[in-house]
Amino acid sequence: MSGRASKVTLQLPRRPRRDVLGGSLLGLTFLGLGAGCGAEGPPSRPSGGAAAGTPTGNLATRGGESTAVPREPAGVEQVSLRLSWIKNTEFAGFFVALERGFYRDEGIDLTINGAAQNLSEVQAVASKGDTIGLSGGQSLMLARAQGIPIKAFGALFQRGPGCFLWLARSGIKGIADFKGRKIGVQQTARASSEAMLTMHNLKIEDVSLVPVGFDIQPLLSGVVDVLTGTVINQVVLLEQQGEQVGFIPYADLGFTFYWNTPFVLDDTLRDRKALLTAWLRASARGWDYALHNPEEVAKLVVDKYGEGLDLTNQTLELKRETPLIRSELTAQKGLFWMDPAVWRAGQDILLHRTKQLERPLNPDDVSTLEILSRVGKIGG
């Protein structure tokens, strides 16, 4: 996986695989959050960002709603983005914006860094190795509670892709049928899984929680009856193997957190508002294009930006992401928009359900709508 860990002087633990519940609780172990994971991390990839594409001139977004006319930049600023996972279609819109020159039009020379084994996105931004990071709302609130001065200024996924999933032949129809079943849970997902079970009138002793990684094999082999995963990963993989899959998103169980939330240090937000506005405007244009042209964009990501990706899988993943990225709110306000009520609901879960927060956070310390308000409505 690509990254720029060499720029960071902190001696940090090896990064495990990504948490399916909130983006990246995983890199916060060194902050005292105890977010260990038994699964192996993704394979390392060569360092370095992708190059920008050919200049596009006065290009309006084809097939989308964005018609902003690019401006000739007065100067170029170097910006780096740290992804929360490997380079694939989960981040398609950013690659589109890079490829079609949307960042260049805003005076930004963007480097996109995939997740690193030994460096979470929170660590990468906190240590100033990267300008902007993508993470989940759950992770950002926990980091803020530990005194890390980071703040979200948008939210790509309005609904997180995390879910409980099972094979249809198991006879399971929903969470009420989990009683007496074996549930495969990643270590980092255990507290949240237990919270969702109790939120739906199941006692922990009603089920058997089995430690697993992110592989689908324990489900296929019958080691577990239910697996924690995502609708854009494990569910797609099982469907590609011809399995009939049942699943219930965590959001439908009341576990509401934003996902792939762009965030920066407080200092960056204070001192570089114009830059962040330009970056978010270009990113929204890229995502508007990607959501309207999934086949074309999936091929771009597979051919140029990812490594070892399957085109069919990546096209399905991008299409499955669309209803998670769009919402009634984004239809009204534009892509990346946030509702403060979602942050409050998430904080309530961390305070009263998972017990991962000891005291409430100041909402203004966690997220801001200022940059979104400057960007205006793009896509949705």
**pLDDT, tens digit, 9 for 90 and up, residues 270-298:** 999 999 999 999 999 999 999 999 999 99
Say if CB 117 and CB 1 are below 8 A apart: yes
Quote the CA–CA distance of 230 and 249 in Å, as a whole number: 8
pLDDT at 12: 32
Q: Do 210 and 319 reside in the same domain of the chain? A: no
pLDDT at 205 over 80: yes
Q: Do 358 and 210 reside in the same domain of the chain? A: no
The 10 Å Cβ neighbour count of residue 150 is 22
Mean pLDDT of the chain: 84
Residue 66 placed within a domain? yes
Quote the CA–CA distance of 108 and 89 in Å, as a whole number: 22
Give the end of a domain, one of 253, 277, 301: 253
Give the end of a domain, one of 204, 221, 253: 253
- The pTM for the full model equals 0.79
What does each C-alpha distance from 81 to 52, 235, 347 come to in angstroms?
Answer: 14, 28, 26
Residue 54 placed within a domain? yes
- Using 50, 70 and 90 to split pLDDT, how confident is the model at 3? very low
- CATH number for the domain spanning 224: value is 3.40.190.10
Phi, psi of 152 (to 5 degrees): -80, 140
Element (H, E) at 95: helix 92-99
By residue range, what is the domain housing residue 321?
Answer: 5-159+257-375
One-letter amino acid of 48: G
pLDDT at 120 over 80: yes
Q: Do 371 and 291 reside in the same domain of the chain? A: yes
Residue 380 placed within a domain? no
Residue 270 placed within a domain? yes
Residue 274 placed within a domain? yes
pLDDT at 58: 33
Would you state the torsion angle of the CA atoms of residues 344, 347, 352, 357, taken in this order, to the nearest 10 degrees?
-150
Q: Counting every residue, how long is the chain?
A: 380
Residue 318 placed within a domain? yes
